[in-house]
């Protein structure tokens, strides 16, 4: 098969990592960990989550996030999209239960609405669309920093005991597995930051491998509890439809809302991409800590939404870039005409 044949259409960016996640779900379905193996995998998954959040803390430049506060209106707008508009739409979707969504799938949908924004893909799409890249960097970093603390609190407030319960034990797990490693990473960043930069590629595999382990653990437990008997193809299709509406609503609200607030084109692009997307890397380990045995259903909506947002935002970014080229060309023609007339 030639290289050209193997390439996917440029407008359909299937993330290879999504394929790895799907493969992990299939593996857990066919060969779920049980008994002693499940205990071993669960312990490894707990350690992997702590390692992930240590690395998040060690990589995140607090100075950059705080410096970005100078553009405070933009960051407040992104935070409002991520932690206010998204949750409100998620709460509104409760009217779809049980006719369209099962209570368990709705809990996962609501959880995805509470997850912080992405960093890497927001920056990439903003750059492609010729938007304000420094603003996207700061907005994504600040959203991730706030989400470490705010997402568990919102989950406790809005989801509560709906999926696996939210007890004092859950709070202790959040502190031990999420907050303490993150704070430790921030405190040690001065000494380990250089090492992380030098070994960025290798540690990227550690990140992704850890998340695959979390997914395998969650779905192994889900399979033993009969997860696929709870999610029919019709329910899965309904979930995809609801998520498509959710994404479309947030893309429109972030774009036109930013215009009403007086932001320029570059800032609007950064707001749209940072304010309409959700982080798979942060959401998956958080779900494993927050929901325990129910994590498999909690992460399913987030996994589907992640791929959907990549595909849709790639198309939008390329259109925005084309619009910018046409605008630049029109301005150039106008300038030449003025010059000739003078």
Percent of the chain scored above 90 by pLDDT?
A: 29
3-state class (DSSP) for residue 149: helix
Residue 4, in any domain of the structure: no
Counting the structural domains of the chain, the total is 1
Ranked by mean pLDDT, the top range of 138-147, 210-219, 270-279 is: 270-279
pLDDT at 336 over 60: no
pLDDT value for 243: 97
Residue 310, in any domain of the structure: yes
More confident residue, 20 or 85: 85
Peptide bond into 98 cis (omega under 30): yes
pLDDT tens-digit map of 79-117: 999 999 999 999 999 999 999 999 889 999 999 999 999
pLDDT at 6 over 50: no
Flag the least confident range among 111-125, 191-205, 244-258, 307-321: 191-205
Residue 187, in any domain of the structure: yes
Joined together, the tokens standing for residue 255 give 């774009």
Buried b (16+ CB within 10 A) or exposed e, 63-90: eebeebeebeebbebbbbbbbebbbebb
Flag the least confident range among 50-64, 88-102, 173-187, 299-313: 50-64
pLDDT at 294 over 60: yes
More confident residue, 250 or 182: 250
Residue 337, in any domain of the structure: no
pLDDT value for 268: 96
d(CA 146, CA 164): 24
Ranked by mean pLDDT, the top range of 1-5, 18-22, 102-106, 222-226 is: 102-106
d(CA 185, CA 179): 10
Q: Domain holding 214: CATH number?
A: 1.20.1530.20
Contacts of 175 (CB under 8 A, 6+ apart): none
Residue 330, in any domain of the structure: no
pLDDT value for 80: 96
Flag the least confident range among 15-19, 44-48, 257-261: 15-19
Residue 321, in any domain of the structure: yes
- Contact between 110 and 91 (Cβ < 8 Å): yes
**For the residues 47-62, what does the mean pLDDT come to?**
81
State how far Cα 114 lies from the chain centre. 10
3-state class (DSSP) for residue 341: helix
Joined together, the tokens standing for residue 56 give 């998040």
Q: Which of 325, 316, 252 is nearest to 85 (CA)?
A: 252
pLDDT at 262 over 90: yes
Residue 72, in any domain of the structure: yes
pLDDT at 2 over 50: no
Degrees, nearest 5: CA angle 140-142-146: 120
Residue 335, in any domain of the structure: no
Contacts of 46 (CB under 8 A, 6+ apart): 177
pLDDT value for 298: 82
pLDDT value for 332: 47
pLDDT value for 83: 96
Determine the structural domain holding residue 168 and report its residue range.
9-325
pLDDT at 145 over 50: yes
pLDDT value for 5: 38
More confident residue, 111 or 46: 111
**For the residues 125-149, what does the mean pLDDT come to?**
86
């Amino acid at each position: 098969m030639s290289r050209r044949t193997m390439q996917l259409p440029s407008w359909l960016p299937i993330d290879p990592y999504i394929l790895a996640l799907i493969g992990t779900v299939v593996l857990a379905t066919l060969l779920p960990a049980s008994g002693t193996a499940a205990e071993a995998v669960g312990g490894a998954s707990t350690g992997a989550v702590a390692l992930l959040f240590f690395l998040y803390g060690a990589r995140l430049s607090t100075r950059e996030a705080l410096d970005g506060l100078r553009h405070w209106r933009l960051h407040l707008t992104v935070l409002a999209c991520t932690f206010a508009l998204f949750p409100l739409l998620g709460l509104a979707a409760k009217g779809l239960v049980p006719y369209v969504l099962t209570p368990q799938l709705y809990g996962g949908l609501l959880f995805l609405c509470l997850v912080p924004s992405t960093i890497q893909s927001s920056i990439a799409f903003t750059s492609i669309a010729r938007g304000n890249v420094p603003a996207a960097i700061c907005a994504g970093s600040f959203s991730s920093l706030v989400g470490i603390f705010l997402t568990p609190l919102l989950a406790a407030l809005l989801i509560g005991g709906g999926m696996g319960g939210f007890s004092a034990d859950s709070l202790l797990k959040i502190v031990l597995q999420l907050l303490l490693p993150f704070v430790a990473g921030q405190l040690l960043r001065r000494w380990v930051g250089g090492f992380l930069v030098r070994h960025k590629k290798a540690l990227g595999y550690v990140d992704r491998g850890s998340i695959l382990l979390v997914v395998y653990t969650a779905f192994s437990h889900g399979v033993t509890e009969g997860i696929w008997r709870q999610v029919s193809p019709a329910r899965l299709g309904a979930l995809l439809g609801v998520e498509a509406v959710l994404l479309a609503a947030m893309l429109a609200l972030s774009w036109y809302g930013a215009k009403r607030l007086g932001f320029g084109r570059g800032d609007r692009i950064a707001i749209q991409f940072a304010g309409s997307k959700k982080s798979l890397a942060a959401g998956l380990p958080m779900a494993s800590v927050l929901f325990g045995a129910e994590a498999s259903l909690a992460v399913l909506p987030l996994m589907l939404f992640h791929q959907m947002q990549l595909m849709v935002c790639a198309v939008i970014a390329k259109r925005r870039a084309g619009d910018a080229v046409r605008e630049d060309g029109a301005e150039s023609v106008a300038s030449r005409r003025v010059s000739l007339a003078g």
